[in-house]
Structure 1
Amino acid sequence: MIAEADIAVVAEQLGRTPRGVRAIAARCPGGHPSVVQTDPRLPDGTPFPTLYYLTCPRLNSLVSTLETTGLMKEMTDRLAEDDALSSRYLAAHESYLAERDAIEPLGTQVTAGGMPTRVKCLHVHVAHALAKGTGVNPFGDEALARLADEWPTGDCASR
């Protein structure tokens, strides 16, 4: 059961009523939601393969800034060059898929964020890393490490 107060905070963060929220998957140190876990299908039945969704506005903004630097292309290129990294990323994909399918199989191998062959959306990887902890999603961990001096600080952590 998700507290109505949390749903209200997530709605404020997103600027809209959240859809298909199953749980608060991670919180900022200040206590407010930073990641929600969503149902594999939205209430209207539409498949929604993104199991973890980043809601923290400050972190969303910081991740968007990272995306403008070309980091996703660099990460994707490293997948072709680093077998160990590629294996860890494939494991993140498989873990994500297994967790989502345990809730409700969508009949697809598509997870989110470009897994397992490319890096398409850092927001998904950061959300996954926050929800599951360090060591599960290498690119989520890397993005969070790059943002460590900027998040969680300021308004984000004090709410």
Structure 2
Amino acid sequence: MSLPPVTESDREVVARQLGRPPRAVRAVAARCPSGHPSVVQTSPRLEDGTPFPTLYYLTCPRLTSLVSRLEASGLMREMTDRLATDEDLAAAYLAAHRSYLAQRDAIEPLGTEVSAGGMPGRVKCLHVHVAHALAVGPGVNPFGDEALAALAADWPAGDCAR
């Protein structure tokens, strides 16, 4: 998946969204309906060479807040529990992990099977899964897709959709 490089304007918007300069940003991987970045693709290493396995990073403040509410509800624990009992879900999650690694390694291999968000054995960060789902589209990350479906009544809507 090739994305156009991030523009200086996008970098400025992301800095405002995050409240700090973004690190290792390569591209905008998804945008909110209003046009502002909602997900950025980052380099596998920070500028100082430190590995940074989070390839897709959620930046939209409204969406980030909504995902945080899902996390606080205990949804990640429920999702992780389902991995132990639903073979099809576990297989789909493993495939999402492998896809994530392949996309990251196509940019720069880190020499590790560690991806992000707890993949493939648990669900540790819904922000990562939502970012992944938005960046690559539906049908790749089952938990990102589920989280977006759970937020459908609230996002994209409101300030972020203007």
Coarse TM-score class (shorter-chain normalised): over 0.9
> Deviations 1:80-127 (Å, cap 9, x if unpaired)?
000000000000000000110111111110000000000000000000
> Deviations 1:15-53 (Å, cap 9, x if unpaired)?
000010010000001100000000000001010000000
What corresponds to 2:157 in structure 1? 153
Partner amino acid for 1:128?
Answer: H
> Which of 79, 99, 106 is the aligned partner of 1:102?
106
What corresponds to 1:121 in structure 2? 125
**C-alpha separation in 2, matches of 1:37 and 1:73:** 27
Q: Alignment partner of 2:110: what SS?
A: coil
**C-alpha separation in 1, matches of 2:26 and 2:140:** 21
What corresponds to 1:58 in structure 2? 62
State the identity as a percent: 77
Query: What is the CA-CA distance between 1:157 and the residue it aligns to?
Result: 1.1
- Structure 1 stretches of 4+ with a deviation exceeding 6 A read none
What corresponds to 1:20 in structure 2? 24
RMSD over aligned CA atoms reads 0.5
**C-alpha separation in 2, matches of 1:72 and 1:80:** 13
**C-alpha separation in 1, matches of 2:36 and 2:73:** 28
Q: Alignment partner of 1:25: what SS?
A: strand
Query: What is the CA-CA distance between 1:12 and the residue it aligns to?
Result: 0.2
**C-alpha separation in 1, matches of 2:131 and 2:7:** 20
Partner amino acid for 2:66?
Answer: L
What corresponds to 2:87 in structure 1? 83
Q: Alignment partner of 1:34: what SS?
A: strand
> Which of 128, 134, 149 is the aligned partner of 1:130?
134
Query: What is the CA-CA distance between 1:155 and the residue it aligns to?
Result: 0.8
Partner amino acid for 2:73?
Answer: T
Q: Alignment partner of 2:84: what SS?
A: helix
Query: What is the CA-CA distance between 1:7 and the residue it aligns to?
Result: 0.6
Query: What is the CA-CA distance between 1:4 and the residue it aligns to?
Result: 1.1
- Give unmatched runs, 5+ long, in structure 1: none
Query: What is the CA-CA distance between 1:57 and the residue it aligns to?
Result: 0.2
**C-alpha separation in 1, matches of 2:74 and 2:139:** 23
Does 2:143 align with 1:139?
Answer: yes
Does 2:49 align with 1:45?
Answer: yes
Query: What is the CA-CA distance between 1:2 and the residue it aligns to?
Result: 1.9
Partner amino acid for 2:20?
Answer: R
